[in-house]
Amino acid sequence: MIREQDKSWVEETVNKIVEKMDWVSDKSKDKIPYTTVNGVHDDRSDITKTFGIDDGINWWTNGFWGGMLWLMYHETGDVKYADIARGTEEKLDKCFTDYYGLHHDVGFMYLPTAVADYRLTGNQESRKRGLHAANILAGRFNPVGKFLRAWNDGATDDTRGWAIIDCLFNIPLLYWASEETNDPRFKQIAMMHADTVMENFVRGDGSVCHIVEFDPNTGERVRDYGGQGYGDGSSWTRGQTWGLYGFVISYQHTGKQEYLDTAKKIAHYFIANIPEDGIIPVDFRQPKEPAWCDDTAAAIAAGGLIEIARQVEELEKEVYLNAAIRLLKALDKNHCDYGRENDCFLQKATAAYHSQEHEFNIIYGDYYYIEAMLKLKRHDICIW
């Protein structure tokens, strides 16, 4: 599917990824990293509570390290990756036993860990974990507003009616549960949520909202919020990528044409706004200064664009595939560290425009970068 002149670059880049993951997996085998401290992976599983009840073992990114390991197992066949990944998966059992602190992001946590384990090895305990997580996610569904509630009760915000664009990546857990059990309820909930997002989050120009508030008692749309972007009505780039990639995943699981059309609409907006150097800002509508960038948005977008290219007619494929390769090459050239001074690959990720930390290491940036590169090489990666 990729051009001949790009094949050698893909092979060389994947080889560099495999070489680094070989030693960093051993170094961090007892951790569940989120970021780095002085270049060394931290351990989110060893934190009881930092900023709130959802931190620590319940932290929403805690599935991505396991996902990276399963990608490496799939690529290399080395059982050490399966062993380390399964240790991560077992640590997450504490989330089930504690219960308090679990949230809408169980898809991010359990698809790259338990469900990936089950798909690749047939582990029945992993299947059980995945189905348990799917039932927890389905329990967050608001049947009046037809959305999955985001977050839990906080000290100040009432989030009972909040839904977020990110959850398009959690609902594949529900699609999988329906496919696995032949029970349509999970898929029905996932599709109703996707339909609500399609109607209420996607603007006419193809940009998307991060947060939309509904009245939890009536389902009426109240307003939207800027969330992790620059402000209300802006264009948080990672949110665009959750949309373009998320909707093509829903299309793959359901065959509903409107989902693919929506993914393409968001993708066209994203492609049109890629800067000349290929480095993606935190928000397409942020001020010129400070010019914060976000490598996670570039990596996620690349993976989604590759998936769209797989679904469209032959004459359309190059539009999406070439954009994906452009983003990945910019990351590889400018922001990727394959050496031993830093345990992470991507060096300039940003969690939110108005956060205190910018352009640092975030584990899901690495996950999506590796996933996208392996998609270009193997064409058979199935996590979501």
pLDDT tier at 153, thresholds 50, 70, 90: confident
Could you tell me the residue ranges of all domains in the chain? 4-378
- Per residue in 228-287, pLDDT (tens digit) is 999 999 999 999 999 999 999 999 999 999 999 999 999 999 999 999 999 999 999 999
- Is the pLDDT reported for residue 47 higher than 70? no
What's the confidence (pLDDT) of residue 155? 63
Residue with tokens 């996670």: 296
Q: Which residues contact 231 (CB under 8 A, 6 or more apart)?
A: none
Orientation angle between helical segments 257-272 and 184-200, nearest 10 degrees: 40
**Mean pLDDT, residues 114-123 taken together:** 98
Q: Which residues contact 35 (CB under 8 A, 6 or more apart)?
A: 41, 42, 344, 360, 361, 362, 363
**Mean pLDDT, residues 188-206 taken together:** 98
Tell me the C-alpha distance between 234 and 336, whole Å: 28
Phi, psi of 38, rounded to the nearest 5 degrees? 55, 40
- Is the pLDDT reported for residue 17 higher than 80? yes
Report whether CATH 1.50.10.10 matches the domain 4-378. yes
The rounded Cα 116 to chain-centroid distance in angstroms is: 14
In which element (H, E) is residue 326 found? helix 314-334
The DSSP annotation for 20-54 comes to: HHHHHHHHTTT---SSEETTEE--GGG-S-SSSTT
- Report, in angstroms and rounded to the nearest whole number, the Rg of the chain calculated over CA atoms: 19
Half-sphere exposure in the Cβ direction for 281 (13 Å, CA): 20
Residue 158 DSSP symbol: -
C-alpha pair distances (Å), 298 with each of 85, 114, 241, 277, 346: 25, 26, 8, 12, 10
- Is the pLDDT reported for residue 150 higher than 80? yes
Mean pLDDT score of the chain: 96
Q: How far apart are the first and last CA of the chain?
A: 21
What's the confidence (pLDDT) of residue 2? 78
- Is the pLDDT reported for residue 54 higher than 70? no
What's the confidence (pLDDT) of residue 5? 82
- Per residue in 311-368, pLDDT (tens digit) is 999 999 999 999 999 999 999 999 999 999 999 999 999 999 999 889 999 999 999 9
Instruction: Yes or no: say if 78 and 72 are a contact pair by the CB < 8 Å rule.
Output: yes
- Is the pLDDT reported for residue 50 higher than 60? no
CA angle 83/87/88 to nearest 5° reads 120
- Per residue in 175-194, pLDDT (tens digit) is 999 999 999 999 999 999 99
Tell me the C-alpha distance between 65 and 91, whole Å: 12
Q: Which residues contact 73 (CB under 8 A, 6 or more apart)?
A: 79, 81, 82, 85, 120
C-alpha pair distances (Å), 247 with each of 48, 86, 292, 296: 34, 29, 27, 18
pLDDT tier at 55, thresholds 50, 70, 90: low
Instruction: Yes or no: say if 269 and 205 are a contact pair by the CB < 8 Å rule.
Output: yes
Would you please indicate which residues are annotated as catalytic (active-site) residues? 105, 166
How would you classify the pairing of strands 162-164 and 147-148? unpaired
Q: Is 185 exposed, middle or buried (0-12, 13-18, 19+ CB in 10 A)?
A: middle
What's the confidence (pLDDT) of residue 346? 98
Instruction: Yes or no: say if 68 and 82 are a contact pair by the CB < 8 Å rule.
Output: no
Instruction: For residue 184, give the amino acid letter.
Output: P
